[in-house]
Structure 1
Amino acid sequence: MAAETDTAALQARIAALEAENDALRTETPRRRRVRGRSILAGVLLVVAILLAPIAVLGTWARVQLVDTDRFVATFAPLAEDPQVQSYIADQAMTAIDENLDIQGIVDDLADGLTQLDLPPRAENAIQLLTVPAAQGIRTLVGNAVDRVVASDAFAGIWQTTLRETHSRAVAIIQGQEGTAITLGGDGTLSIDLGVVIGNVKDHLVDSGFGFAEAIPEIQRTIPLATADSFVLIRTLYQVATAAGYWLPWVVLGLLVVGVALAVKRSRAVVAAGAGLTIAFLALLAGFGIGRQFFIGAVSPSVMPAGTAAVVFDQVTELMNATLVALTVLALLIALGAWLSGPWRPARRIRRIGQDAENTLRRTAERYGLSTGSFGAFLDRAAPALRVIVVLGAVAILFLSRPITIGGVLWTLVGVIVLLLLIEVLRRPADEPETATDAAPDAEAAATVSRPPA
């Protein structure tokens, strides 16, 4: 009898082991598929994070150089900066000195006066006045240059010139000849001084200084900046014309597909947000280092350090603002994914929020305010509505180029308001019936049970 019992137990054990073995055989392919999906999702997310800074640079180059208004808005303020004005005025005066011999003109005038048989004392006085007269004329011309460069008229000329020559912006980046602003093959960005000097000449002639007619037409350019970074900008522009518009969409697509393939999506979104934050911060740090390198490369041989800093900051202002906004956006996405994830602190925070929502909902219904069937519909559609709100916010930010911190924060406020409305207005199916809803049923029951008169 005992032998039969042992045999039955052994057979049962064997059957259990065979069933467990069959289950393991079935489970192994599924685990391999899950592992393959996770690896593919990780690769897509890593590629998206690596391409994100390139996409930002390409979009920046495209917007700065293709959009006329943005191009003018970037470079026009340089004409009103005191350091840039001082640099242009100094260079214009140097060009005038090299092409107009003021001392020679005064000496010729003095020689002509001495030939008029003037008294010796008058001749001596004329000779003594030649140097102060030349210095006075030069000071007069210098003051006129300063007034012209600092005037609103010059700022208008600067802006008009930028707008009129923007059609040749591609030629500027490609280093072609014949443009008011040129980019040389060695990375030198230059501006033609002919316009500045021509306006100084007209101003002097209109003021009654006829000698200004002797100022010749000068064909000369002065370098605004020289740096290898401008050669890099040229390369980036060539890339931007081909992929500057589409590459951000490619990055967004890789992120969406990578998160969709991930087994643990909340963890994937947190990792993607953290990776993008690091990538954008690294690019910001690179621009900070590039600024110091740029100033050191062009100063003082090309221009003063203050002027170089102003030029660099003005050109990269939009890029820095966009990177800060994208960093904030990536952090917010990572934080939102963490709050919706399986981590214990996140679950506690969600539980606190749910308790507050339930309390608010019950209080409202206690006073007769209930969303009824509409709330039940919102409860059923809540997951889809949350996804639609988030994806809509991402689409709005993506289409609003350039991305700004204000745009990110206002979009975040809109998302929070919409999500709160969904949570407050929805009516969970398992919510206990409130006194307001139960009163009609209780009254009906009492009517049925009341004995007839």
Structure 2
Amino acid sequence: MPSRLRRGLSAVLIALACLLAPCGTLAAWAAYGLADTGRYVAAMAPLAADPRVRDAVADTVGDGVMTEVGAGPLRGTVRLYVRDAARSFTRTDAFRAGWDAANRAVHTAVLHALRDQGAAGRPVRVDLAPVTARVRGRLVRDNVPMAQRIPVRHTEVTVLPAREADRLRKGYRVLDVAAFWLPLAAVVFAVAGIAVAACRRRALTATGIGTAVGGVLLALAVLAGRRLTLAELPGAVDDPAAGAVYDALTATLRTASWLLVGLGLTVAAASWLTGRYAHLLRRRRPPGNPTADPAPPRPPRARL
């Protein structure tokens, strides 16, 4: 194969590999990171101590209670009392237990709906009875008065309408396939591009630089996704709390993007330094033609 054709083919394969690397990382994060209930709950657990999330939950609970209470001459006083009580509750172990139970219940229900092909056209609902039971058990262990009398009722709430669930179900199937094939294709293209290159050292350096650039682009995409996500939220959603949730969910993806940057720069630097070292060794070799026949030795001179 001519050297020019080999350089062109190598450039195309390496470019495809560097393009697929961040895409495969994103797909793997969505399919294996977000789709794992244990990892999801572990990522969301620290948010129970985040003041932004606690204030948002307290305000939501307070508004819900005031809606049930209705108007009255003492509405303002009751509102302050309810919100203070809700904020005090968000600082307890019972709230943290309920937070973990709620996240686990919602994630399990959504994941089951995404994987169930027969659930098309149906909304995703969550039964709050396990969450209530978890909170009541924690309050009982903390010796809170009247906690044992808290009723545990099977109350279902809709977390995803049918239209949104169907759209996410199609995207989940695509991610499930892409999470396996995209990283594999990136590795195959990178190896093939380096193998067919006229100068493999330069191809390896280009692959490392391209991988680092892909990692930077992935990190920028995460930042852009945060802005777009917060901009599209309804007005009733608290932006600081939603931003904290987004940051918690994408922490692994941000780490993966910087790992791509570090790996790419390390490979590129190692390849460049190896080439410079080989070049210096060639320059230090003594001049001469090693293939030429050596000159015959001169006979010793006779001494007088």
Question: Considering the TM-score relative to the shorter chain, is it more than 0.5?
Answer: yes
Q: Return closer, same or farther for 1:292/1:65 CA change in 2, 3 Å cut-off.
A: closer
Identify which of 302, 306, 310 aligns with 2:244. 310
1:197-216 matched pairs, under 5 angstroms: 207=145
Q: Return closer, same or farther for 1:66/1:221 CA change in 2, 3 Å cut-off.
A: closer
TM-score, length-scaled by structure 1: 0.50
**Aligned residues: CA RMSD:** 4.0
The equivalent of 2:225 in structure 1 is 290
Partner secondary structure for residue 180 of structure 2: coil
Q: Return closer, same or farther for 1:234/1:220 CA change in 2, 3 Å cut-off.
A: closer
TM-superposed CA distance for 1:270, in Å, is: 0.8
* Number of matched pairs: 268
Radius of gyration: which is bigger? 1
8 Å contact 2:125–2:156 — kept in the other structure? no
1:11-50 matched pairs, under 5 angstroms: 32-50=1-19
Q: Return closer, same or farther for 1:170/1:208 CA change in 2, 3 Å cut-off.
A: closer
Partner secondary structure for residue 123 of structure 2: coil
Gaps of 5+ in 1: 1-31, 104-130, 182-191, 355-453
TM-superposed CA distance for 1:272, in Å, is: 1.0
8 Å contact 2:30–2:175 — kept in the other structure? yes
> Per chain length, whose mean CA-contact separation is higher, i.e. which structure has more relative contact order (CA < 8 Å, sep 6+)?
2
The equivalent of 1:177 in structure 2 is 123
Distance in 2 of aligned mates of 1:272 and 1:240: 25
Q: Return closer, same or farther for 1:95/1:217 CA change in 2, 3 Å cut-off.
A: farther
The equivalent of 2:85 in structure 1 is 144
The equivalent of 1:163 in structure 2 is 104
Letter in 2 for 1:295: L
Partner secondary structure for residue 99 of structure 2: helix
Distance in 1 of aligned mates of 2:84 and 2:267: 56
Q: Return closer, same or farther for 1:272/1:235 CA change in 2, 3 Å cut-off.
A: farther
Output one character per residue of 1:348-388: Cα deviation in whole Å (capped at 9) or x when no partner. Answer: 4x79xx9xxxxxxxxxxxxxxxxxxxxxxxxxxxxxxxxxx
Letter in 2 for 1:333: V
Distance in 2 of aligned mates of 1:259 and 1:308: 44
Q: Return closer, same or farther for 1:235/1:149 CA change in 2, 3 Å cut-off.
A: farther
Gaps of 5+ in 2: 285-304
Matched, 1:327 2:256: no
The equivalent of 2:68 in structure 1 is 99
Letter in 1 for 2:93: D
Letter in 1 for 2:200: R
Partner secondary structure for residue 90 of structure 2: helix
Q: Return closer, same or farther for 1:331/1:232 CA change in 2, 3 Å cut-off.
A: farther
The equivalent of 1:261 in structure 2 is 196
Letter in 1 for 2:265: L
Output one character per residue of 1:232-287: Cα deviation in whole Å (capped at 9) or x when no partner. Answer: 97665332211313321221121112111112001001111111111221121122
TM-score, length-scaled by structure 2: 0.72
Q: Return closer, same or farther for 1:179/1:338 CA change in 2, 3 Å cut-off.
A: farther
